[in-house]
């Protein structure tokens, strides 16, 4: 606790008391138009000399920026689907500054933040980042993030674990090693080492940023295998109302709405989504014979106030409920309550600071249908505070300093007597974004983490380099990954159906990885090709093993394992509306013999996407064909809990799933989407836990309407 208090005092002194006062400002206003003269909304306006200074255009294409009048600036306008444009703004300019953007369909001019915590164009980010855009989310039209990520990214597979809980495998790393964020904030709660992915609603997402490989130097524990950051949208319209609905096979239903307004710096977005799935009887036998049905409700509200791009305050609140029809006499219920408050201030054109507080409580309960009582047997409560400060040197180098404090509380049916445990965690991190040459970028970072249980300390460094010449870019990076033992892994004492116990281990060591990757990228006009090689050495991976003295399973550390492979992506986009992409990942895990873990990572996986679209004044359409191919994998399966020498060979078969989608934009704000999934009618002969849960060809039909568009002139 002393460590946490000391770090908090240092952070508040450096980030609140120390910074300079505001300097004199002038106001620059302007309008951003398309080639046809139409105003463009949500265009990102940045200042090259001060990357942290960002604003957006409103529904009329207008923006405003406050700047020091005694300097020269380069203003840039960026919008997905349009070529970025930068113009020089001379000193003492205090008037209008307009842009006209030409359209194209590359994502390289998109601004991302996850890999560096500061805004960067995707093409200029030294940390390899994959983006799933709002347009891709709309075209694929699925109801959960698992289906979306599997359709768009190779090397990712969501499978079933015990009791049909969802587990992630991302290039050899499980769900407890891949950190999921919503607008940069962690999610509380887990089931079998994975978060509740159904909490992630696709109703109001702007885009998703995925960083593969260790990101512990910025995000700490659980980011040892990568980060998935879901960015929600915030429209700057006077008012907006969206209604949407979906119906599909097996009585799949989804209903959503969002209501927003913007007035003189005040912005609010309220969204709600209801989802229902009937149980699904599978055609063939196997480890899984029936998929549980469920219904869920997700409500979120985000309110913000900004003043002249000097400061911004954001408040948010959310409620999530899901009921799963797991048994005839009882159902499982999951609830989440979340809230947050964040303040952002541009102290000067070179200095900005962010302070935030986050609350997240995730509960589980068993609901007895006949008796009518609801018993809560799991609750994870996290209270977090964060401070991040950025300073720009010589108009191009950025120093980022920050820190976090979290109180983590867990009550669980997996503890003795349904007990509870908690711990305090604190960290401090620093990163320097160095740009010595226009074509050369270096990012170096380091993070110190402290966990009160077992007085655990860890330091995580990273180094990333990027060099660009002509149409080529080369990226190289080293990152140290880190995952602390969780409260469950330390204190668990769970009776497995009166057969044996699973015990926690308070003496566990943290997982530590060394991640190396080298990436080459070629971009020319409408074409982009990226090839990345990666290597991970993971020491002390945490798993369970049989303990003869305790006559049960206990959490333990493994000997070092190695994960290596390649990641290939090629895309092409043409102005007449055609786009295509192919992505392929090869992954190989090396696990020492005799260790209590088997690899079910498929060595080869690929995704394909081709789409064509056309828009006129009152009508537009797009056609999508996408598919994913996963190779077979042969592995050893343990036949005895008490011996790691008793195994048998098992092969999980290869499979491919293809999807066709037809989307129409009708009369301004009305969108209709028809999707056929599993076009080739693939049905597994035997349903393993990592087989696709399909019963044949499936369909969805959805409609979405933006009501405000009907009132635009």
Torsion, Cα of 109, 115, 118, 120 (10° steps): -20
* Whether residue 84 sits in one domain with residue 172: no
* Whether residue 241 sits in one domain with residue 98: no
* Closest C-alpha to 320, from 166, 201, 176: 201
Is residue 71 scored above 70 in pLDDT? yes
Which uninterrupted H or E stretch holds 257?
strand 252-263
* Whether residue 469 sits in one domain with residue 509: yes
CA distance 111 to 368: 49
Report the alpha-carbon angle 538-474-586, nearest 5: 45
With the C-alpha atoms ordered 596, 217, 476, 127, is the resulting torsion angle positive or negative?
A: positive
Is residue 499 scored above 60 in pLDDT? yes
Is residue 579 scored above 80 in pLDDT? yes
Average pLDDT score over residue span 225-233: 90
Q: Token pair of 404, please?
A: 């976090």
* Whether residue 22 sits in one domain with residue 44: yes
With the C-alpha atoms ordered 519, 400, 41, 139, is the resulting torsion angle positive or negative?
A: positive
* Whether residue 300 sits in one domain with residue 203: yes
**What CATH number has the domain bearing residue 298?**
2.40.170.20
pLDDT number for residue 644:
57
Pairing of strands 185-186, 178-182: antiparallel
pLDDT number for residue 11:
44
Question: What does the pLDDT look like over 108-152, one tens digit per residue?
Answer: 667 778 888 777 878 888 888 888 888 888 888 888 899 999 999
* Whether residue 147 sits in one domain with residue 128: yes
pLDDT number for residue 288:
85
CA distance 224 to 484: 10
Is residue 180 scored above 50 in pLDDT? yes
345 and 311 Cβ atoms separated by less than 8 Å? yes
Is residue 342 scored above 80 in pLDDT? yes
* Closest C-alpha to 600, from 157, 150, 287: 157
* Whether residue 78 sits in one domain with residue 54: yes
Question: What does the pLDDT look like over 645-675, one tens digit per residue?
Answer: 667 788 889 999 999 999 998 877 799 999 9
* Whether residue 424 sits in one domain with residue 292: yes
Q: Ranked by mean pLDDT, which of 329-338, 429-438, 523-532, 538-547 comes out on top?
A: 329-338
Q: Which of 54, 82, 112 is the last residue of a domain?
A: 112
Q: Which of 13-22, 316-325, 459-468, 626-635 bottoms out in mean pLDDT, i.e. has the lowest?
A: 13-22
CA distance 231 to 587: 28
pLDDT number for residue 6:
45
Q: Which of 87, 112, 137 is the last residue of a domain?
A: 112
> How remote is the C-alpha of 244 from its chain's centroid?
23
CB neighbours of 444 closer than 8 A, spacing ≥ 6?
431, 432, 434, 461, 462, 463, 464
Write down the pTM of the prediction: 0.85
* Whether residue 577 sits in one domain with residue 470: yes
Q: 514-534: buried (b, 16+ CB within 10 Å) or exposed (e) per residue?
A: bbbbebebebeeeebebebeb
State percent of the chain over pLDDT 70. Answer: 93
Is residue 158 scored above 60 in pLDDT? yes
221 and 482 Cβ atoms separated by less than 8 Å? yes
Sheet order of strands, 500-503 included: 493-496, 500-503, 552-557, 542-547
pLDDT number for residue 21:
35
pLDDT number for residue 441:
93
* Whether residue 152 sits in one domain with residue 52: no
Q: Which of 112, 137, 161 is the last residue of a domain?
A: 112
pLDDT number for residue 105:
52
Give the domain range for residue 101: 2-112
pLDDT number for residue 108:
63
Is residue 493 scored above 80 in pLDDT? yes
Tokens 């300079």 correspond to: 20
Average pLDDT score over residue span 331-348: 95
Average pLDDT score over residue span 482-489: 92
Report phi then psi at 279, rounded to 5: -60, 150
* Whether residue 351 sits in one domain with residue 467: yes
pLDDT number for residue 272:
96
Is residue 42 scored above 80 in pLDDT? no
Torsion, Cα of 450, 452, 455, 457 (10° steps): -10
pLDDT number for residue 645:
61
Question: What does the pLDDT look like over 421-459, one tens digit per residue?
Answer: 999 999 999 999 999 988 899 999 999 999 998 889 999
* Closest C-alpha to 261, from 294, 304, 300, 292: 304
pLDDT number for residue 192:
84
* Whether residue 161 sits in one domain with residue 16: no
Number of domains in the chain: 2
* Closest C-alpha to 698, from 245, 137, 288, 143: 143
**What CATH number has the domain bearing residue 65?**
2.60.40.1120
């Amino acid at each position: 606790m002393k460590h946490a208090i000391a770090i908090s005092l240092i952070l508040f002194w450096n980030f609140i008391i120390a910074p300079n006062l505001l300097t004199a400002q002038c106001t620059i206003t302007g309008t951003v138009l398309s080639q046809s003269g139409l105003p463009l909304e949500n265009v990102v306006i940045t200042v090259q000399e001060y990357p942290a200074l960002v604003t957006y255009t409103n529904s009329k294409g207008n923006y405003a920026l406050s700047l020091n009048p005694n300097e020269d600036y380069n203003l840039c306008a960026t919008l997905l689907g349009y070529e970025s444009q930068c113009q020089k703004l001379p000193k003492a300019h205090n008037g209008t500054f307009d842009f006209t953007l030409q359209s194209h369909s590359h994502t390289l001019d998109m601004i991302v933040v996850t890999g560096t915590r500061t805004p960067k164009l995707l093409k200029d980010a030294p940390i390899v980042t994959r983006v799933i855009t709002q347009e891709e989310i709309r075209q694929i039209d699925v109801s959960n993030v698992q289906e979306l990520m599997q359709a768009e990214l190779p090397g990712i597979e969501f499978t079933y674990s015990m009791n049909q809980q969802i587990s992630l495998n991302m290039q050899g790393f499980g769900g407890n090693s891949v950190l999921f964020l919503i607008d940069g904030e962690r999610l509380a709660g887990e089931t079998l080492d994975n978060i509740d992915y159904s909490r992630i609603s696709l109703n109001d997402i702007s885009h998703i940023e995925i960083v593969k490989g260790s990101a512990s130097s910025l995000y700490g524990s659980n980011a040892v295998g990568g980060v998935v950051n879901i960015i929600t949208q915030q429209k700057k319209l006077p008012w907006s109302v969206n209604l949407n609905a979906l119906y599909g096979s097996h009585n799949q239903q989804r209903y959503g709405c969002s209501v927003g307004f913007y007035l003189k710096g005040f912005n609010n977005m309220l969204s709600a989504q209801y989802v229902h799935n009937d149980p699904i009887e599978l055609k063939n036998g196997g480890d899984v014979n029936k998929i549980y049905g469920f219904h869920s409700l997700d409500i979120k509200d985000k309110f913000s106030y900004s003043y002249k791009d000097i400061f911004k305050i954001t408040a948010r609140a959310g409620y999530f409920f899901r009921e799963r029809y797991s048994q005839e006499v009882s159902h499982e219920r999951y609830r989440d309550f979340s809230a947050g408050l964040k303040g952002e201030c541009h102290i000067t054109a070179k200095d900005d600071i962010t302070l935030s507080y986050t609350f997240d409580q995730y509960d589980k309960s068993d609901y007895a249908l006949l008796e009518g009582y609801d018993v809560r047997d799991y609750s994870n409560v996290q209270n977090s505070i964060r401070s991040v400060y950025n300073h720009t040197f010589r108009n191009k180098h950025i120093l980022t300093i920050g820190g976090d404090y979290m109180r983590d509380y867990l009550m669980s049916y997996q503890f003795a007597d349904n007990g509870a445990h908690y711990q305090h965690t604190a960290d401090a991190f620093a990163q320097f974004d160095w740009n010595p040459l226009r074509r050369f970028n270096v990012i170096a970072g380091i993070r110190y983490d402290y966990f009160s249980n077992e007085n655990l300390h860890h330091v995580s460094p990273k180094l990333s380099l990027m060099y660009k010449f002509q149409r080529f870019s080369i990226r190289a990076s080293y990152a140290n990954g880190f995952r602390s033992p969780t409260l469950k892994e330390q204190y668990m004492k769970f009776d497995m159906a009166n057969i044996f116990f699973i015990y926690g281990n308070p003496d566990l060591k943290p997982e530590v990885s060394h991640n190396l990757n080298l990436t080459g990228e070629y971009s020319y006009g409408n074409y982009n090709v990226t090839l990345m090689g990666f290597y991970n050495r993971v020491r002390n991976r945490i798993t369970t093993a049989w303990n003869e003295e305790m006559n049960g399973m206990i959490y333990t550390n493994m000997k070092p394992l190695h994960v290596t492979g390649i990641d290939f992506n090629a895309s092409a986009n043409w102005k007449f509306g055609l786009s295509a992409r192919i992505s392929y990942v090869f992954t190989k895990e090396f696990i020492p013999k005799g260790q209590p873990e088997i690899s079910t990572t498929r060595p080869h996986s690929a995704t394909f996407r081709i789409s064509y679209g056309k828009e006129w004044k009152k009508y537009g359409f797009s056609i999508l064909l996408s598919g994913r191919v996963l190779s077979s994998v042969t592995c050893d399966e343990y036949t005895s809990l008490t011996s790691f020498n008793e195994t048998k060979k098992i092969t999980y078969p290869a499979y491919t799933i293809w999807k066709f989608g037809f989307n129409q934009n009708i009369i301004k704000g009305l969108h209709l989407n028809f999707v056929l999934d599993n076009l080739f009618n693939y049905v597994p002969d035997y349903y393993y836990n990592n087989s696709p849960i399909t019963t044949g060809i499936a369909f969805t039909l959805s409609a979405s309407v933006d009501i405000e568009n009907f009132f635009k002139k």
